[in-house]
Every structure is written in structure tokens, then in C-alpha cells.
Structure 1
């Protein structure tokens, strides 16, 4: 028992024994700073410092973006951002693919190129051909009222369509003599209409101008995009009155007849119609006389 008490006193004496920490000038041995301390003070101070340092580190990681750099850390915000970026990337890829196809169509119109030189329009209509004997064509009261309303609204509409989606009436861009017609074999996907120089050229339907520039082969060219993937092109124009991005109405003057470009022998309008990326014969839909 006496030994145990003596041992405790010895430990207490060592812990409370005072020491002096002195910082001296090495050259002059002048005392600059001195501290009085004991082992217990050093132990308590060191423990408090370590605890505070650990607490600050935890707070720094828990409430700052530094936690996101910890391997394996799962952040709801980062997951949400990654999901949004994935959707945006997918949307951008879709828009990019659509834009590329759109530009390819414009290039085909400008160059007069198509992938398949044979286009059988009758086969397209055959797919939607119905047997009248299998359909009850008796209109109901609501159908009759709807037809009367539509007929009234479209009475003066120049941009009409048939039920099967084919184009019925388009506004003639120019009245004149057709000097060269549409010819698939000769790869002449247009009609050439002769007229006096500076005669007004009009839009065949409502649409947006998607190209209005000069080209070396076809001179002043203006291309208009209409609804239902219909594109009209007007080439060898003398001047253009519309710019890219302008909206035009059916029958609105967009250019004048000219003789511009290398591939021309006189004042005329080279007019093309493209549907779903393929050329169609304008004379099937427009009366140029």
C-alpha cells in the first residue's frame, strides 16, 4: 500500500515538475523568449490542439465543396448535374443530327443532287389508297358543320392540300413560257420559265427564307422552307428582295428575273420544288401560263 502511494506521488511529481523552455540567440546567447511549463500542461495543451484541429477539419470537409473530392463520396447535387448534362448532351446530339440532315437537304437543292434518281410518286400514293366500299362515307352532323367551317376559313387560302398530303395548289412564282421542263433522266430537277428581265418573282407559299446568297453557277439564289418539309428554290435571279431568316407570304415578291450565274443563257427563272429531300415536278402543282 505504501509503495502504491509512493508511486502515485512520484508520477504526480513528474507531471507537475516545472520546466523552462528558453529560446536563445545563437551568437550572443541572449535570452529571447522563455516559457514555464510542466508535462501535464504540455499533454493537456497538445490534446486540446489535436481535438480542435480534428474538429476544424471535419467542419471544413462537411460544409465546403472539398467533400466532393473525397474518393467514394456520393453527392446528390453532382448526380443531378450529371443527369441534366446527360439529357442536354442527348438533346444536342439530336439537334446536331437534325441540323446535319437539314444542311444536307440544302446542299442537294443547291447542287441539284439526289440519292435515288428514280422517284415513283405513284407508289407513295398507293400506300394510302383505300377501298371506298369498306368505308362508311356518310357524314354526321358534326362532320358537316366542321366541313362548312373549314371551307369558310380556306376560301381564299392559296396554299391548299389534298387529304392524302399531296400539294394541290401553289402560287405561281412567275407567269411565262416554260423553256425547259422537269426531266429526271437529264437530272434537270426544275422548270425554266422565260420572262422579261426584272419581272417580279413571287413566293409559292408561306414560308421562311433559309438561303439568300450568290453562287457562281446559279447566280442569285433564294430558297424558302414551307410547311410539311416542302422547299422551293429560285435561281438565276437578277436581284433578291428578301434575306435569310425573313418570313414571306404566298404571292409576296422575293426577287426579280435575271441572267446571273455561269449556267444561264438568258433571262429566266430556274424554279425547283423539293418534298422530303427529293425533287418533284413543279408542273404537277403549278400552272405557269
Structure 2
């Protein structure tokens, strides 16, 4: 045993030299000397350091997901996926609301995509195109109008159930209340871009909702004064402009025939006490006198 120990000690204490030579000239560029156990200790130490650095790198970076795998439990993973799905849904709802508000702004400013006559001509030249199910008639609608329809059909705020017969007869199946009684001073004219009827009335005459719906806009604008916009079912909007005052707030639900404001002479475009009344169906203005007797 002592003989073997002496032999091992002799081997470990043997000195070795590592020389770096030039390949062509064999000129000595560097030399490293040391006992064998120095070289063994250095190699083991370097290996330990390398392993430690690798472990730290894997644990501290996203590499652990690929090497070790996720440390999340099944419940935590499912909860995380559910949270991601909710975030994505919220983002889609926010985008739909933005498009919906843009549509409302266009209606307030009187910007129409196409007139009802143009829409009917386009449908007449469809050469028997396949009919779509109720609530999905998107022929001729702009991106904003489609977004508004998707928002209404998704059950978002300000939505009302569609009239069962609306798919067959459009808005003619509704029974409209006259928003106010008076003399029509300016008629609907798509050519002149006057998408409304102006009804001359006395100051502070009550203005009534033409149908049941939700108030989506109730505020003052410099050009049209106090304005109320109601969202009804089946992508139908009604607008009441130049009011003297408003008695309903945004988000309020009103019944057809319920007083929502009082007629007046507000706004830069007003020329006297009257009600500027508009109807918009599927993002397009329609002539209110086709459905309402003022």
C-alpha cells in the first residue's frame, strides 16, 4: 500500500511543461510549467465554474422554459392563459367601442357613406346574390358601419333587441312617435346633404323620443347647440339638434314618446326655434317623413 502511495505521489508531483510553438518555424511562443496535480486541480476548477455559470444563465433567463420547463402548475398555467384571453377580448371590445364612437362622430357631423337610394340601387343590381341571415346584411356597409353592427349584435351597451320583422321590412315595421308637432321648414334632401327635417316650433316645446332606446350622446356643440342621440335596435339612430336644454344623461334608457329635451334656438347654424331631427339606419340617413307624421 505504501508503495502505491509513493508511486501516486511521485506521478502527481511530476512536473510537466506545455509549450506553444509556431506551426512553421517551431519558435516557442509560450510555455506553461507545473506539477501534474496543478493541472488537474485547474481543469476541475474551470469545469466547476463553467457549470455554475451555465446554471445561473439558465435560471436567470427565459432559457429555463426550454431546458427545465415551466415551473407553473397546471392551475397557474390555465389561469395565465385565461388572463391572456381576457386581455385580448378587452382589447377587441375597446377597438369596437372606438369604431362605434367614430361612427357617432360621423353621424353628428352629417357624414354619410351612401344615400338610401344608392344602397337600394346597389342591391337591385346584385343579380340575385345569395341572401344572408337576419342581422348579417352587410352589403354596401363601410368598415365603421360593420363595426357598429358587430357592437350592437354582441350585446354591448346601448343595444336593444332587434325587431323580429326588421330583416324583412327594415325600419318600416317600427311604430315611430313624432318627436314634436310643428311646421316643416326644411325638408330632407340627400342631394343638398341636408339629412334631416327641420320642424319650426315654439321655444321650449317638449321633444320626445321617437322610439325606445339608450342615450348615447347628450351634450352641447358649437354648430348644432344642445344635441341628443338615441341608439335604438337594428342599427337605428335618432338625432335631435338645436335643443334649448336636455333632461336626459348619457346611458339613460328612455321609452318611445318620453320627453328627452326642449326645443330651442341654440348653435351657430340655427335660424330660429326649431327641431333638427335625423334618422340614421345602418350608417345611412333616411327621410324621417317616410315614417313619421309631424
Q: How does 1:268-287 map to 2 (within 5 A)?
A: 268-287=274-293
Residue 106 of structure 2 aligns with which residue?
108
2:229 maps to which of 219, 223, 233: 223
Picking from 161, 164, 169, the partner of 1:164 is: 169
Q: Which has the larger radius of gyration?
A: 1
Distance change in 2, residues 1:231/1:160 (3 Å): same
How far apart are residue 98 of structure 1 and its match? Answer: 1.8
d(CA) in 2 for partners of 1:231 and 1:253? 17
Query: Structure 2: how far apart are the matches of 1:235 and 1:195?
Result: 13
Q: Contact 1:67–1:73 (CA<8 Å) still a contact in 2?
A: no
Q: How far is 1:72 from its partner? A: 2.3
Task: Tell me the C-alpha RMSD between the 2 structures.
Answer: 4.5
Task: Work out the CA distance in 2 between the residues paired with 1:221 and 1:244.
Answer: 11
Per-residue deviation at 1:105?
A: 1.6
Q: Could you tell me the TM-score, scaled by structure 2's length?
A: 0.61
Structure 1 gap ranges (5+): 13-50, 131-158
Aligned partners of 1:191 and 1:270 also within 8 Å: yes
Of 234, 237, 242 in structure 2, the residue corresponding to residue 236 of structure 1 is: 242
Look up the match of 1:119: 117
Which aligned runs of 4 or more in structure 1 are off by greater than 3 angstroms?
4-12, 65-69, 73-90, 117-128, 159-163
Which runs of 5 or more structure 2 residues have no equivalent in the other structure? 10-47, 129-162
The equivalent position to 1:190 in structure 2, one of 173, 192, 196, is: 196
TM-score, normalised relative to structure 1 = 0.62
SS in 2 for 1:193: strand
2:263 aligned with 1:257 = yes
Give the aligned partner of residue 208 of structure 1. Answer: 214
